[in-house]
Structure 1
């Protein structure tokens, strides 16, 4: 199929893009890399009257260290993150996860801000951002606001982004160099969206007990799910197989998956349990020896 007729607009500055959004509101859609939106347009699941291409706004393409976070401009492409030495040093989880996004052709066009704004609960970036307790910087006619993930992701493909606003920046907290991290997902075929995915970050104290843990699951509910109760249970405990199994044993209480043609809800819960244990153990094994917090 072909998309419905639309008027194509291509601003080169943020202020012009915001003006278009203010003028056309819900009749307009933002496009950057187009990897998520173009298929939706082609299937006519969305029929905007105006398509605003923001790919020329160079001020939204950057990766920089800003205190304790890595700030990534919304128009930064996946491959730029994948190849970033800064991210490799301060947030290796992000590189591990982003290598699972589609294929190289998709990562060469898709943008970080586009993936976050699309808010697919099976996508890798929302899951990692949730595990790290990251933030989304939004810009609109009234200025900027910074939103945590639990207030940004509302349900399937729906965020708290207003029709007159843009995602400007995504802020990923850096990972302590003494911590270990892991991203694991299960897909039917390489490059597909995950049936279930898990992001984990773990720190150990001088005794080898768990001092810090951050854990999120994607694909098992309408938004990425932060497993706070499991995190709390693990703090202060020895990271044995028994303890990890006990911690994950209640995981079905926190998940809300739906069955579809790819997987039943029950299978997604089963996968979440297995992958969470695996991600935790992998993250623990990656804690640098002799560098426990």
Structure 2
């Protein structure tokens, strides 16, 4: 990797200042994507700002919401009894990410900020209608994800926590690449009293997205058969060595029905 300065601030304000003063500086959360990028010399930051000492980890329940600190690891979410009792789909999702080493280093905030089109957490946040808290504002999930590796975050802006409303039912299903364990197609479904939200990751060229046709059908009848006759166009889906766009379109229906069946 290229040479860079290493900073480890002790407060969010200090971290924001370091990132704002140097537009070539990069934030480091769990590093499960960023460190390999540095090793391959695909990025050349002037400095790396380590966020591990900012006190941004932890899981709390407040009324009808679960609040997760941005630096909370996948392993902590997967092992949390609070998450399992209230949003079991999220607990199961975290347990499927990478391998044990990745789960003990990778963080929710880092994954959301990176917005990899095959990452798991974006589908949970979007399906749950969650919000992202940063050092300066609150962003809804529908506004946050803006395309492949693209979010609403501004330069120097740091995710501090994530809030997720507690649904009546939730589930996640993933058809994963056997080597990387990233989602070829992943589906998160959440049932609320007034509506159902369903989000898909791994399939689209634009990253995570809500499947409104599935949502409408499931809001009327929350059962796998309700979406059995709905097809997904392959026009904007990914096609690669792992799966064609047409195969992903087929998988979306299969995996979505499995997720709904698990939630019920």
Matched, 1:252 2:233: yes
Gaps of 5+ in 1: 205-210, 285-293
Alignment partner, residue 99 of structure 2: 103
Matched, 1:30 2:30: no
Judge conservation of contact 2:189–2:197 (CA < 8 Å) in 1: yes
Give the secondary-structure state (helix, strand or coil) at the position aligned to 1:270.
helix
Distance change (3 Å), C-alpha of 1:234 and 1:33: closer
Alignment partner, residue 117 of structure 1: 113
Distance change (3 Å), C-alpha of 1:105 and 1:270: same
Distance change (3 Å), C-alpha of 1:227 and 1:262: same
Matched, 1:161 2:149: no
Alignment partner, residue 213 of structure 2: 229
Alignment partner, residue 283 of structure 1: 263
CA distance in 2, matches of 1:61, 1:169: 8
> Which of 242, 248, 257 is matched with 1:268 structurally?
248
Q: Where do 4+ consecutive residues of structure 1 move more than 6 Å?
A: none
Matched, 1:86 2:89: no
Matches within 5 A, 1:31-50: 31-50=28-47
Alignment partner, residue 287 of structure 1: none
> Which of 8, 16, 19 is matched with 2:17 structurally?
19
Judge conservation of contact 1:216–1:226 (CA < 8 Å) in 2: yes
> Which of 117, 127, 134 is matched with 2:130 structurally?
134
Equivalent pairs, count: 263
CA distance in 2, matches of 1:265, 1:259: 4
Q: CA deviation at 1:240?
A: 6.5
Matched, 1:199 2:179: no
Alignment partner, residue 182 of structure 1: 171
TM-score scaled by length of structure 2? 0.93
Q: CA deviation at 1:203?
A: 6.3
Q: C-alpha deviations, 1:252-280, integer Å up to 9, x for none? A: 27x72121222211111111111112212
> Which of 169, 189, 197 is matched with 1:214 structurally?
197
CA distance in 2, matches of 1:188, 1:75: 26
Q: Indicate the structure (1 or 2) with the bigger Cα radius of gyration.
A: 1
CA distance in 2, matches of 1:92, 1:234: 19
Judge conservation of contact 1:103–1:191 (CA < 8 Å) in 2: no
Distance change (3 Å), C-alpha of 1:240 and 1:194: closer
Give the secondary-structure state (helix, strand or coil) at the position aligned to 1:122.
coil
CA distance in 1, matches of 2:221, 2:31: 45
TM-score scaled by length of structure 1? 0.84
Q: CA deviation at 1:192?
A: 1.7
